[in-house]
Amino acid sequence: MILQIFDTANCDDCIPREYGFGSTVCVCNATYCDTLSPVRPPLTGNYIQFVSSKSGLRFQRSIGSFKSKITPRGVKCKINENITYQEIIGFGGAFTDSAGINILSLSKSSQEFLLKSYFSKEGIEYNLGRVPIGGTDFSTRGYTYSDDNSDATLKGFKLTIEDFKYKIPLIKRAQECSKHSIKLTASCWSPPKWMKTNKELTGFGILREEYYKAYADYHIKFLDAYKKEGIDFWCITTGNEPTNGLLVVNKLNALGWTPISQRKWIGEFLGPAMHSAYRDTCILTGDDQRYIFPWWLKMIMLDKKAAQYINGSAVHWYWDFIIPPVLLRQTHEKFPNLFILNTESSYGDKPWDLFKVALGSWKRAEDYANDIIQSINNWVTGWIDWNLALNEEGGPNWINNYVDSPIIVNNTADEFYKQPMFYALGHFSKFISPGSLRIESSVSPANVVETLFLRRPDKSLIIIILNRKFYDLKFTIVDDQRGSAILNIPKYSISTVIYR
């Protein structure tokens, strides 16, 4: 028997609105926003199930109990928590210029609701953030921190108004909201034009070798400048999407690398500079699509000078729908001491996407959840989304490269809309505490639902179930220590189950 409960996690309900994309958004404004208070594991012998669905459920809670004797029904899972895999670092989003512009376009009260929705204990509890080093396409102009001076000593290096207005203040406000210490990762899209062969931010261009040292110093100066403002970084990457800068037709801010050229820069310049100034800040290489792995990392690690500085690899999701996750597992098997982090994801980026922003799209939520489950089941340790917030067009973006976001801002009404993608992310970030371990399980029949099994630091267990079928399912948990329980999994839904 499943009973509704309302005393385990206090929740303010979603105010739904439909825009014709198959499901609903939740509307927030200066006076109201839905919340979900911290979730405590239930008493031993019980479980709590949280469900979000295409039909409009958002973190709907129910409670049930384990039984010693029960006949399994539907999909059956058996858990073996004695076999553990990688530790989960967390989940988050990016503090882009565009995100800052949109958040700050709201009233102060709406801003607070938005930031708390992501980072507070009443929100989905993000603990990771990504910060661009300079501009990206999600800026209102193309810029770097040394545009006006071609001096390799970087005497003219300085942060810009975008840092002081949009990035630094919001990072600090997010940190104030969070019970976690937010781990920040920094990535550079392009160095100053004068360092590149094509002398442009976009297009086919690589780093001129005489500026290898200057570009390493550029990263150090960025970390120094943010440290002066009271912000430290957990990781940096060796550059956003290095393959983009090798494309003849490329409108994105980019710097082209091959792994051969990049490993020379890492081993002789970036690595030593970071080791001297920021030894505890990790370095992630790759920062590109699955299809470059494990080859890219293998080529970097063949250079002993570079290999000593690499802590892990960063991967993006944009072609995951055709590139299998087995490449992630192969990367881990080849380099088991290096962790894998997903550092960018967004929807609406493809030329064939008729709608860059699809308010209420449940398919986009399902695709996010499916990708996170597949990625973590193949050794990824965390998942960072792209822009924290965009406008209804999917921008601003200085090259008109609009995409979707889990939160869309309508500043004319002083509203923002929590997309189904927001709740899909929350089914992971809210419940999977940093330090959780993926655990062994078996599911039969296979390929009916997508599942993920973890054990949190408090020893409670988490099961995440994605049902993309057009019908409800029964799902039986078989646990040798606790007994069995039969759950109802609604059609087109994401469930998170927690129990001791």
DSSP single-letter state for residue 196:
B
Phi and psi angles of residue 29, each rounded to the nearest 5 degrees, phi first: -145, -160
Backbone angles phi, psi at 204, to 5 degrees: -75, 115
For the segment 410-422, the average pLDDT, to the nearest whole number, is: 98
Alpha helices in 247-360 (DSSP H): 259-265, 271-277, 295-301, 304-307, 326-334
- Under the banding of pLDDT at 50, 70 and 90, the label for residue 4 is very low
Token reading at 316 = 């993006």
Identify the helix (H) or strand (E) that includes residue 64. Answer: strand 60-65
**pLDDT by residue (tens digit) across 233-265?**
999 999 999 999 999 889 999 999 999 999 999
Q: Which overall architecture, per CATH, does domain 39-75+437-499 show?
A: Sandwich (2.60)
How many whole angstroms from its chain centre is CA 145?
Answer: 26
Which sequence spans correspond to the domains of the chain? 39-75+437-499, 89-429
What is the SS3 assignment for 125? coil
Report in angstroms the alpha-carbon separations of 167 from 53, 71, 302.
Answer: 33, 54, 37
Active site residues: 241, 344
37 neighbors 13 (Cβ within 8 angstroms): no
Is pLDDT of 278 > 80? yes
Looking at residues 477-500, what average pLDDT do you find? 95
pLDDT digits (tens, 9 = 90+) for 134-159: 999 999 999 999 998 789 999 999 99
Average pLDDT for 123-130? 98
Amino acid at 247: L
Q: Which residues contact 462 (CB under 8 A, 6 or more apart)?
A: 431, 432, 436, 452, 453, 454, 455, 456, 496, 497, 498
The torsion angle over the Cα atoms of residues 420, 425, 426 and 427, rounded to 10 degrees, is 100
- Residue 11: what pLDDT? 59
Residue with tokens 């009973």: 3
Cα 461 to Cα 479: distance, rounded to the nearest angstrom: 11
Q: What angle do CA 212, 213, 216 make, to 5 degrees?
A: 90
| pLDDT band, residue 2 (cuts 50/70/90) | very low
| CB atoms inside a 10 Å sphere around CB 340 | 26
Q: Give the mean pLDDT of 25-52.
A: 96
Q: Which residue carries 């927001």 as its tokens?
A: 422
Q: Which residue from 304, 165, 163, 305 is spatially nearest to 221, judged by alpha carbons? A: 163
Q: Give tens-digit pLDDT for 284-343.
A: 999 999 999 999 999 999 999 999 999 999 999 999 999 999 999 999 999 999 999 999
Is the predicted pLDDT of residue 7 greater than 50, yes or no? no
Relative to beta strand 16-18, strand 473-479 is unpaired
Architecture of domain 89-429: Alpha-Beta Barrel (3.20)
The answer to whether the beta carbons of residues 429 and 126 sit under 8 Å apart is: yes
Q: How many CB atoms lie within 10 A of CB 389?
A: 28
How many angstroms from the chain centroid is the CA of residue 442?
Answer: 27
Contact predicate 23/54, CB 8 Å: yes
Q: Tens digits of per-residue pLDDT, 447-460?
A: 999 999 999 999 99
